[in-house]
């Protein structure tokens, strides 16, 4: 689990602000979801035999003996939320949420045990138009973040659950003949979750997979039409994509469209956003049959991509220094006044005492434009010293009551100069 330093946090904030803006522009509504759900929810949705449920969940009994889990992903909780709050029946919803997810994985660059996602889920829309809209929305986010040159779209269709099962048994037949040559994980998955083998990163297994039957040959007609229409829409609108038949996703609830947005710039952790359709999930969790489609983007990976481009922007405009008890109180008070009357101005008060010289050095390091100086003399005469730290280095004494107007004028002039 990571500690997020200020420079990094600023990048997270930039991503969140951008994504929030874009989601609003497409009419998506934000919801708040709990970080803990009943363990059963994930077993029933993500699937018992997936990596996530088998070995990555933080699960514990609460004081009542109920098994709870720190959410490893957001879709299951969002479906539960939408169903319990009556948002699904005969309705169309475009929802989004953000927050931490938890998975017990091997930590490495771009892979953490607590990570941030922004997810969106759409309910009640069965056609490929909403799939296309989600991808357009993603593409707009990459453009807004200046990452569009580095992130590309990979698409696949898993077809109906029946088509998928049929394919799965053909795949198992094929792989059985090479069983002993497969890596250990894949041998295990041959029993538990064979589709996931397609996604193996092991060279020898990948070689064997080259001769495997293709999922696309097993697609049912409706799924094929859905997929072809989606591809057509993307071509019409000008969203570039590549069909990647090995994209199967690590969660059981997907059907039809699945996609990943990938980059070469993060090594093995190359997927920054992933999602797809889960038309059976609502019903599977006890609701009325409702189509669903969504995505989740990993903010930690996007932040790594942006980290190279950004510098920490810690903007201080005014830095107040003081000496003596009365002046210390006076400085806190003047700072409040500046914040009240000049909104948008960032004011830092030197706390912890020290000589004026040392305090002014801190003021300089802070990057502030102005230092406001308050000693015992100033307190008794009702005045204040103001020093321009960047332009002239000049210091003037003014009346305390003039400080706001003085600063306001200084900053407006500076803007003209700047
Ligand atoms: P991967 O194949 O990289 O393990 P995943 O298929 O498990 O990803 P999803 O469950 O689809 O990932 O989650 C969506 C996105 O969340 C991923 O594309 C990734 O950007 C991010 N993500 C997933 N797991 C982690 C993690 N452990 N640390 C950081 N980001 C993650
Ligand atoms: Mg994973």
pLDDT tens digits, one per residue of 258-302:
999 999 988 888 999 999 999 999 999 999 999 999 999 999 999
pLDDT level of residue 150 (50, 70, 90 thresholds) = very high
Question: Which residue in 403, 373, 374 sits closest to 389, CA to CA?
Answer: 373
- Quick check: CB of 298 below 6 Å from ligand 1? yes
CATH 3.30.2130.10 fits 6-159+219-309, yes or no: no
What does the angle CA 277 – CA 164 – CA 246 come to, to the nearest 5 degrees?
75
Query: From start to end of 245-302, where are the E strands?
Result: 255-262, 271-277, 292-298
Mean pLDDT value of segment 191-199: 88
Q: d(Cα 197, Cα 97) in Å, to the nearest integer? A: 31
Index of the ligand 1 atom closest to the CA of residue 261: 18
Residue 80: which H helix or E strand, with range?
Answer: helix 75-84
Three-class SS state of 415:
helix
Q: In terms of CATH architecture, what is 318-409?
A: 3-Layer(aba) Sandwich (3.40)
Closest Cα to atom 8 of ligand 1:
271
CA of 230 to the centre of ligand 1 (A): 24
pLDDT level of residue 253 (50, 70, 90 thresholds) = confident
The percentage of the chain sitting over the pLDDT mark of 70, rounded to a whole number, equals 97
- Quick check: CB of 278 below 6 Å from ligand 1? no
Mean pLDDT value of segment 393-402: 94
DSSP 178-240: TGGGS-HHHHHHHHH-GGGGGG---HHHHHHHTTSPPGGGG--HHHHHHHHHHHHHHHHHT--
> Which ligand is nearest the CA of 263, by number?
1
Closest Cα to atom 19 of ligand 1:
298
pLDDT level of residue 347 (50, 70, 90 thresholds) = very high
pLDDT of residue 418: 42
The pair phi, psi for residue 342, each rounded to 5°, is -125, 70
The percentage of the chain sitting over the pLDDT mark of 90, rounded to a whole number, equals 83
Name every residue whose Cβ is closer than 8 Å to that of residue 237 and which is 6 or more positions away in sequence.
Answer: 132, 136
Index of the ligand 1 atom closest to the CA of residue 107: 27
Write down the mean pLDDT value for the chain: 94
Mean pLDDT value of segment 65-71: 98
In the chain, what are the domain boundaries?
A: 6-159+219-309, 318-409
Index of the ligand 1 atom closest to the CA of residue 260: 18
| 182-197: burial string, b at 16+ Cβ within 10 Å, e else | bbeebeebbeebbbbb
- Quick check: CB of 112 below 6 Å from ligand 1? yes
Index of the ligand 1 atom closest to the CA of residue 296: 14
The answer on pLDDT for 415 being more than 80 is no
pLDDT of residue 249: 79
pLDDT tens-digit readout, 122-143: 999 999 999 999 999 999 999 9
Rg (CA), the chain: 28
The answer on pLDDT for 384 being more than 90 is yes
- Quick check: CB of 273 below 6 Å from ligand 1? yes
CA of 118 to the centre of ligand 1 (A): 11
Least confident of 187-191, 197-201, 395-399, 400-404: 197-201
- Quick check: CB of 276 below 6 Å from ligand 1? no
Q: How many helices (H) and strands (E) in the chain?
A: 15, 16
The answer on pLDDT for 332 being more than 90 is yes
Q: d(Cα 23, Cα 140) in Å, to the nearest integer? A: 10
> Which ligand is nearest the CA of 199, by number?
1
The answer on pLDDT for 308 being more than 80 is no
Q: d(Cα 52, Cα 75) in Å, to the nearest integer? A: 13
pLDDT of residue 312: 64
CA of 300 to the centre of ligand 1 (A): 10
pLDDT level of residue 74 (50, 70, 90 thresholds) = very high
pLDDT tens-digit readout, 35-46: 999 999 999 999
pLDDT of residue 416: 57
CA of 315 to the centre of ligand 1 (A): 33
- Quick check: CB of 73 below 6 Å from ligand 1? yes
pLDDT of residue 200: 86
Index of the ligand 1 atom closest to the CA of residue 271: 18
């Amino acid at each position: 689990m990571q500690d997020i330093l200020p420079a990094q946090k600023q990048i997270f904030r930039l991503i969140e602000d951008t994504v929030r803006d874009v989601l609003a522009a497409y009419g998506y509504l934000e919801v708040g979801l709990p970080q803990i759900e009943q363990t059963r929810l994930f077993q029933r949705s993500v699937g018992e035999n997936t990596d996530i449920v088998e070995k990555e969940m933080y699960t514990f009994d609460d004081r009542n003996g109920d098994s709870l889990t720190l959410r490893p992903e957001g879709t299951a909780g969002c479906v539960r939320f939408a169903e319990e709050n009556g948002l699904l029946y005969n309705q169309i919803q475009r929802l989004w949420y953000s927050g931490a997810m938890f998975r017990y994985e091997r930590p490495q660059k771009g892979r953490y045990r607590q990570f941030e996602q922004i997810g969106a889920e759409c309910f009640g829309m069965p056609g490929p138009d909403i799939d296309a809209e989600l991808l357009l929305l993603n593409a707009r986010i990459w453009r807004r973040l200046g990452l569009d040159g580095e992130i590309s779209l990979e698409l696949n269709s898993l077809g109906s659950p029946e088509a998928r099962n049929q394919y799965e048994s053909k795949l198992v037949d094929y792989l059985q003949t090479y069983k002993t040559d497969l890596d250990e994980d894949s041998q295990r998955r041959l029993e538990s979750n064979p589709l996931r083998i397609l996604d193996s990163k092991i060279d020898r297994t990948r070689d064997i997979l080259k001769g495997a039957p293709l999922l696309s040959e097993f697609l049912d007609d409706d799924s094929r039409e859905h997929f072809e229409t989606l591809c057509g829409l993307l071509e019409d609108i000008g969203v570039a994509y590549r069909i990647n038949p090995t994209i199967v996703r690590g969660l059981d609830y997907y059907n039809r469209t699945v996609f990943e947005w990938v980059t070469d710039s993060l090594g093995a952790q190359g997927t920054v956003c992933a999602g797809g359709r889960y038309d059976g999930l609502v019903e599977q969790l006890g609701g009325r049959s409702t189509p669903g489609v969504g995505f989740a983007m990993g903010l930690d990976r996007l932040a790594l991509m942006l980290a190279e481009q950004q510098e920490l922007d810690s903007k201080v405009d005014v830095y107040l220094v003081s000496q003596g008890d009365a002046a210390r109180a006076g400085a806190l008070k003047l700072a409040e006044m500046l914040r009240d009357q000049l909104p948008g101005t960032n004011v830092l008060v030197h706390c912890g005492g020290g000589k004026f010289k040392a305090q002014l050095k801190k003021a300089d390091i802070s990057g502030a434009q102005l230092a406001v100086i308050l000693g015992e003399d100033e307190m008794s005469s009702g005045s204040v010293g103001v020093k321009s730290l960047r332009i002239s280095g000049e210091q003037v004494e003014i009346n305390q009551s003039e400080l706001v107007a003085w600063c306001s004028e200084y900053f407006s002039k500076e803007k003209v100069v700047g």
